[in-house]
Structure 1
Amino acid sequence: MTKKIVQTAGRDILGKTAPDFARYNDDILFGEVWNKQDALSVKQRSMITVVSLVSQGITDSSLKYHIQNARNNSVTLGEMADTITQVAFYAGWPKAWAAFRLVKEVYEVTE
């Protein structure tokens, strides 16, 4: 049995400002979509999410969170490196460079 994903960041951060958005984030996105594991595992969902964010050029704390989430969901450093290298050819080399900076932080890589 897989561990149920529970998210409270929406309510914690936006509960008073945007309660509907917070509920959709916590209950629908994480509560339903991330917990639906019949076709995709959380590991696969994590990798897809990282690819999506990198391809959009999002290299802020949300990408770092999802890289950490991927690591927590058993994505190895090698798998993450191969995934970002693959997407670099389609989404842009500079975006991959920026993502690798966060990968190094999350996986605690020192060169």
Structure 2
Amino acid sequence: MSNDQPDPRIAAGRELAGKLFAGGPATPAIHKSLARHTVAHLFGEVWQDPTLELQERSLITCTVLVATGREAEQHLHFRGARNLGISRDKLEAMITHVAHYAGWPVAVSASRTLAEVWDTMDKEDAARKGSK
């Protein structure tokens, strides 16, 4: 792709990141080149594959992040899952399932992270409703 032509993957990736992260940064605290690659390739290509529904892809991503103990990314993707309509019950069931394969410590940690994310988002929702 030439430098004078816009990369359509960037637009698609930004739109998807907007759905997931509701206006928050899709690529928090990473350098510019990695952020561009993440938006273009990960969100602009990989997440665009129609073989999996968006909610399925989000739940798979959360599962991998729980199994590998990636707490910082869990915060981001648990928010994304909620923004896509995935219930807390479904995420809790996934964490319980993962506990049997990846271990109790990662599941306990993920449970805490999920509770933090849900509580924060509940407060944000209440504040938005209160300001209307």
Q: TM-score, normalised by structure 2?
A: 0.67
Aligned residues: 100
Q: Which residue in the other structure is 2:75 paired with?
A: 64
Match 1:102 to one of 83, 90, 113: 113
Moved over 3 A (4+): 6-13
**Aligned 1:50-61 pairs, distance under 5 A:** 50-59=62-71, 61=72
Rounded to whole Å, the distance in 2 between the matches of 1:52 and 1:24 is 20
Given that 1:11 and 1:23 are in contact with CA atoms closer than 8 Å, whether structure 2 keeps it comes out as no
Larger radius of gyration: 2
**Aligned 1:12-23 pairs, distance under 5 A:** 13-15=30-32, 19=33, 21-23=34-36
Q: Which residue in the other structure is 1:30 paired with?
A: 43
Rounded to whole Å, the distance in 2 between the matches of 1:26 and 1:14 is 12
CA drift at 1:12? 7.4
Rounded to whole Å, the distance in 2 between the matches of 1:53 and 1:95 is 9
Rounded to whole Å, the distance in 1 between the matches of 2:86 and 2:59 is 8
Q: Which residue in the other structure is 1:79 paired with?
A: 90
Tell me how large the CA RMSD over aligned residues is.
2.2
Rounded to whole Å, the distance in 2 between the matches of 1:49 and 1:14 is 22
Gaps of 5+ in 1: none
- Distance 1:6-1:106 versus aligned 2 partners, 3 A rule: closer
Gaps of 5+ in 2: 1-14, 19-24, 121-132
- Distance 1:28-1:90 versus aligned 2 partners, 3 A rule: same
Q: Which has the higher helix share?
A: 2
Q: Equivalent residue of 1:74, what SS?
A: coil
Q: TM-score, normalised by structure 1?
A: 0.79
